[in-house]
Amino acid sequence: MSSDYYESKAFKQALAKYEKAVAQGATVYLDCDQLSDIAEYYQWTGDTSKALSTADYALSLFEGATIPLALKARIALLNENNLEKAEQLAEQIADKKDLDYFYIRAEILVATNRGEEADLFLESNMEGLDDMDCLDLVLDAAILFIDYEYVDLAKKWLAKSDETGEADYQEVEGRIKFYEGDYKGCERIFNQLIDKNPYNSYYWVVLASAQLAQNHLADAITSSEYAIAINPKEEDALLYKGQALVHLKNYEEALEYFEKLSQVRTSNVEGYLNTANCLFILNRYDEGLAALRKAETRAKRHYPDRLSEIYQEEALAYSHLGEKERALACLDTMEQHVEADPYELMVTRAHIYCENDDLPQAQALYKQAVVESRYQPSVMLRVAVSLYDNNFLQVAYNILCALDPADQEKLPQAHAYMAACAHDLGLDEAFIAHLEKAVELSPSASLTVLSPLFPEGMEPQEYVKYATDNLLMK
């Protein structure tokens, strides 16, 4: 449901009628579509409890109704991480030919990393649909796949549509550009969408994300503020404004937005993770670790796939404080309770030993990770980054230079870290060469790794000229 519908007179009247009846404990007479719209509205505003109670009320009147059951299935899948419950709810939908039944079944597959199965499922169910339903299915499938970052499948389904003037088509087109790194193209499309519909908070959110990716921090903050003004519970807008404020070193205000984000939805972990990162920058490690523990509590219930990241952040925080044993214990917990990448674990353990001056143990683990992974380029990059962070610049640079040139180009951060190493080692010619390659291959990775070397707000495309004029040793 488009957010501008929620501003319509018809919807506002139905919502007011429903909320008045609920407040009075009275029965309300609305049709299934109206109740479904209200349930989806509550979910859109982040009020999952009201969304569920409204869906349940709709189902008490309209057993087997598609939208309320699909909404409950989506909440079970995404908020509760309960795949079995989601599948059971989806199967309670009475009309198995309803497009929304197809969508929720496909979303369950996509959300559990079965994108190709979802693609085949949707393809097989196009047969027998009338022309209008086919048009709807094609665009909605493209939206579903881009929502879960299946860019190639989103492009495939979008190519089936000739409705290039439709807002949904343009939205998917813009988001594909974002994931392909064409942030300016994404920004252009969403500015055009906003010109037509300035009260769509989601458009402002995507615009903010494209601006943030280009390091256009003031613009990203402005776009986030517009989204928040339209919908104060717009989670990504709160996140992006907080992250932009961190880049501007306005940490205290950033913390306020991350706190708001944590309060919007009780299953959200991003707020606490970003709070922890911000507090670590401020050297407030006790508070940062407390935030990570809150994130851990939420993740155990709602997002167990995020636990690996949380345990690793805890381990690195304790390591930085010199508490090596507590840091290693976090990794032991991670290994026991989470399906973690074994080489990632080895490199993180090595990093902890290295940071705490146990170099023989660190060296042994770095070597073990590289050898047992059969010199996997991503593992070698991880080792090099760890060594760079621990100020072993020459060793880190040597490892990165030992990578096959083709692998250097496939790994977005490789040339960025090679440039960083070369700069710190005073290798002017190599610094410029790697910097040029880094900016060409991945402006976003260049921004992440190299922005401390450049003036605040400078775009990666300007890095080479600035470095040539200002950063060379000779």
Average of per-residue pLDDT values in the chain: 93
At residue 44, the pLDDT reads: 81
CB neighbours of residue 247 within 10 Å: 17
Question: What is d(CA 340, CA 289) in angstroms, rounded to the nearest whole number?
Answer: 21
The structural architecture, per CATH, of the domain 195-264 is Alpha Horseshoe (1.25)
pLDDT tens digits, residue range 56-109?
999 999 999 999 999 999 999 888 888 999 999 999 999 998 999 999 999 999
**Which residue is it, tokens 């496939």?**
410
Instruction: Using the predicted structure, report yes or no on whether residue 305 has a pLDDT greater than 90.
Output: no
Give the C-alpha separation, 115 to 108, whole Å: 10
pLDDT digits (tens, 9 = 90+) for 225-263: 999 999 898 999 999 999 999 988 899 999 999 999 999
**Predicted pLDDT of residue 250:** 94
Is the confidence at residue 220, as pLDDT, over 90? Answer: yes
**Interior angle at CA 246, CA 243 and CA 250, nearest 5:** 130
Cα–Cα distances (Å) from 30 to 37, 148, 453, in that order, read 11, 34, 60
Cα-flanking dihedrals φ and ψ of residue 123, to 5°? -60, -45
CA distance 375 to 386: 16
pLDDT of 272 above 70: yes
Both structure tokens of 201: 């908070």
Cα-based angle 344, 345, 347 (whole degrees, multiple of 5) = 65
- Which long-range CB contacts under 8 A does 466-473 form with residues at least 24 apart? 467/423, 467/431, 467/432, 467/435, 468/432, 471/423, 471/431, 472/428, 472/431, 472/432, 473/426, 473/428
- Phi, psi at residue 66, to the nearest 5°? -65, -55
What percentage of residues in the chain have a pLDDT greater than 70?
99
Q: Give the range among 60-69, 260-269, 326-335, 421-430 with minimum mean pLDDT.
A: 260-269
Q: What DSSP line would sit under 152-191, residue for residue?
A: HHHHHHHHT---TTSHHHHHHHHHHHHHTT-HHHHHHHHH
Give the pLDDT confidence score for residue 474 in this predicted structure: 61
d(CA 121, CA 302): 27
Unique residue bearing structure tokens 């909404």: 71
pLDDT at 359 over 80: yes
pLDDT confidence of residue 2: 60
Lowest average pLDDT, out of 99-108, 303-312, 356-365, goes to 303-312
Amino acid at 14: A
| Domain ranges across the chain | 195-264, 412-474
Instruction: Yes or no: say if 291 and 275 are a contact pair by the CB < 8 Å rule.
Output: yes
**pLDDT, position 3:** 65
Residue among 183, 164, 166 nearest 174 (CA): 183
Query: What integer is the mean pLDDT of 441-459?
Result: 87
Q: Is the pLDDT of residue 47 over 90?
A: no
Q: Which H or E run contains 226?
A: helix 217-230
Cα–Cα nearest to 338, from 381, 305, 295, 373:
305
**Quick one: which H or E segment has residue 50?**
helix 48-61
pTM confidence score: 0.83
DSSP 338-391: S---HHHHHHHHHHHHHHTT-HHHHHHHHHHHHHHTTS-HHHHHHHHHHHHHTT
CA–CA dist 363, 308 (Å, integer): 23
